Amino acid sequence: MKSFEYAAPKTLEEATGLLSDRWGEAEILAGGTDLVTSLKQLLISPKRVVSLKNISDLKGIDSKGKGLHIGATTTLAELIANSSVQQNFPALATAAKNIASPQLQNMGTVGGELCQRPRCWYYRNGFGLFGKQDNTSLVRDGDNRYHAIFGNDGPALFVSPSSLGPVFVALSATMIIAGAKGKTREVPAAKFFQTPKSESERETALKPNEILTAIQVPLNGLKNTVYEIRHRQIMDWPYVTAAVAFAAKGESVSDAAIVLGHVAPTPWAAPAAAKLLNGGRIDNALATKCGEAAVQGAKPLSKNEYKVQLAKVAVKRAILAATGA
């Protein structure tokens, strides 16, 4: 990797002041599980790396008002072990557990997991965010078996690598972001993830001089779960995930949300499937119909049509798992 200036500020305001107004000049170091790899692969060559390890305000999980406040530098292991997360948000605990490497769980942070860069092998091998050579997409006619089946009309064909992202979207979480001069803003999880239109953009709503500080998740009693389909359990990314959250009163369902992961450049909401689930009585037949509705509009590439069937199955099993079936 190329040499860079290293900074370890003790306050959030100091940290944002060390960032740049342009992407690529300064990068944020949390757990380092993605950043260090990117530095070694020369995917990025910042002039400065700003560590968040000494900023205590970014750590921990607390109940605030009617929600759970999760600090961005809380580790995945801490998220898994937290009793409130286990009780109220089993989908979050499961998604973090499924990141099955002990090293990643103990070093990786919640904020870092949400902000990690795409795992697309064209991007990781130096062909840019859109996997192009001589202005021609290598992805569309190449090995695209792990790429997007939704939201792939533009140049971005990678899939969002975040396992926690679909769950936070399904739970209507809010991302708390700090910027320069102490300014803060809140962004719904559904709008936090974005599809870049140019190589100079990133995959989230963060600006170059902003830091994700926390995630606020409402404690509204929703049943929630996530179901992942992957080739193997250790050190692997899922083919498809489905996060489900809904309110249940007796046998009646309301406020349903179904969000797919690893199928699009962002976590992909399935409103047609959620609408079908609302007001219904959950059984195998309804769960199957919801799975079919979730893949409406899918546009698989040349080698990833199998993801359509996997998405159907993931949605069905997530719904049934949420009811204990």
Contact between 76 and 94 under an 8 Å Cβ cutoff? The reply is no
pLDDT digits 0-9 by tens, 293-314: 999 999 999 999 999 999 999 9
Location of each CATH 3.30.390.50 domain in the chain:
223-322
Location of each CATH 3.30.465.10 domain in the chain:
5-119+159-218
Residue 147's pLDDT band (cuts 50, 70, 90): very high
DSSP string, 155-210: S-------SSHHHHHHTT-EEEEE-GGG-EEEEEHHHHB---SSTT--SBS--TT-
pLDDT of residue 235: 64
pLDDT digits 0-9 by tens, 20-31: 999 999 999 999
CA distance 224 to 216: 16
Give the E-state strand segments of 38-163 in sequence order.
Answer: 48-51, 61-64, 67-71, 132-133, 136-137
Collect all residues with Cβ–Cβ distance below 8 Å to 257 and sequence separation of at least 6: 169, 170, 171, 172, 243, 244, 245, 246, 269, 274
Domain made up of 223-322: CATH architecture: 2-Layer Sandwich (3.30)
Domain made up of 5-119+159-218: CATH architecture: 2-Layer Sandwich (3.30)
What tokens does 47 get?
Answer: 């002039």
pLDDT of residue 101: 84
pLDDT of residue 325: 58
pLDDT digits 0-9 by tens, 93-107: 999 999 878 889 999
Ramachandran sector of residue 181 (left: φ over 0; alpha: ψ -120 to 50; beta: rest): left
CA distance 92 to 168: 8
pLDDT of residue 171: 98
- Say if residue 48's pLDDT is above 70: yes
- Say if residue 232's pLDDT is above 90: no
Q: Which amino acid is at 128?
A: G
- Say if residue 234's pLDDT is above 70: no
pLDDT of residue 34: 93
